[in-house]
Amino acid sequence: MAEFSEPEIQEANKPRQEDVSYDLDQALSSVVSIRTKIPEDAFTASILGTERAGNGVVIDESGLVLTIGYLVTEADTVWLMGADGRACPGHIVAYDQETGFGLVQALENMGLPALPIGSSGDVGVGESVVVAGYGGREYACKAQIVAKREFAGYWEYVLDEAIFTAPAHPSWGGAALIDSDGRLVGIGSLFVQLPRGEDKPLDGNMVVPIDILVPIMNQLLKFGKVDRPPRPWLGMYTAETEDELVVVGLAEDGPAYDAGVEIGDRVLEVDGAPVISLVDMFRQIWQVGNAGVQVPLTIWREDAAISLDVSSIDRNSLLKKPRLH
């Protein structure tokens, strides 16, 4: 198993009890280490690796842990570690591709407090927060919410209102975003560089807001998934480059690959409608219909526009399912 990288957080950026109104040590003890192993033949193995490490947050007294989904997607082995250093096996309850959340159940009593769930809608830009990884105060970072806005990821992912914090936490995956009342308001997802005009970009983190978990929580716990029609997935990894949407990667033998899309193509239209941003492109694709629908694309290659029909699929059909215990 790959070693968990040691975060480097400056002493001045570590939270102190006098900085907050809640029991800081208790809140930080709710954050656990998560390590997973993924089969080599798993769909995500070549993209995310077969050994993954990050953080999770205990959210109820039974030992239910909330984390970021990419840490546990297709995993066949999960280990959790609490503040006392004791390891405990875990069972994957669910991972949801649309929100990006994952849920893991500890299979032994870890004796850890649950971090209360707050509301990400109640925290505003400019507010002070704590971004916490596993390991207590040494691995927690005082931060500020610097933006709340739409976010699109090249892997066909959109958040209506992601949370952006700074400074960056060096072990962001699955980290807890804790508000001024000691409540969980988000889960760390990415390292990002935030534009600041002509100044050097600001290093920060993108955090998935907790409010999008609450409406689907019961279904995730009961069924391991959300009862909604699957979105069409093309397996086309696209980036915004100088106001253009450029295909930078393709899932091998995925729908876009099979339809003849090539790396370097520029996406002009989806179903006859021009697309000007990544968010716009994904939403246009999802509006065409559910997974399985033919998605008409207009792309620019070399010096000509080309029309292609991509037969979409349900991305979840490619993923190994959590094993039942």
Question: What is the C-alpha end-to-end distance of the chain, expressed in Å?
Answer: 23
Domains defined along the chain, listed by start: 1-228 (2.40.10.120), 236-318 (2.30.42.10)
- Taking alpha carbons only, the member of 266, 220, 231, 228 closest to residue 246 is 266
- Express as a percent the part of the chain with pLDDT over 90: 91
Confidence of residue 2 (pLDDT cuts 50, 70, 90): very low
d(CA 301, CA 31): 48
Instruction: Give pLDDT tens digits for 229-264.
Output: 999 999 999 999 888 999 999 999 999 999 999 999
Instruction: Give pLDDT tens digits for 286-307.
Output: 999 999 999 999 999 999 999 9
d(CA 274, CA 278): 12
DSSP state of 107: S
pLDDT at 3 over 50: no
d(CA 291, CA 148): 29
Q: Centre a 10 Å sphere on the Cβ of residue 324 and count the other Cβ atoms it contains.
A: 6
pLDDT at 6 over 60: no
Count of all residues that appear for the chain in the document? 325
pLDDT at 133 over 80: yes
Residue 242: the pLDDT is 82
pLDDT at 7 over 70: no
DSSP state of 230: P
pLDDT at 108 over 60: yes
Q: Is 209 exposed, middle or buried (0-12, 13-18, 19+ CB in 10 A)?
A: buried
pTM given for the model: 0.94
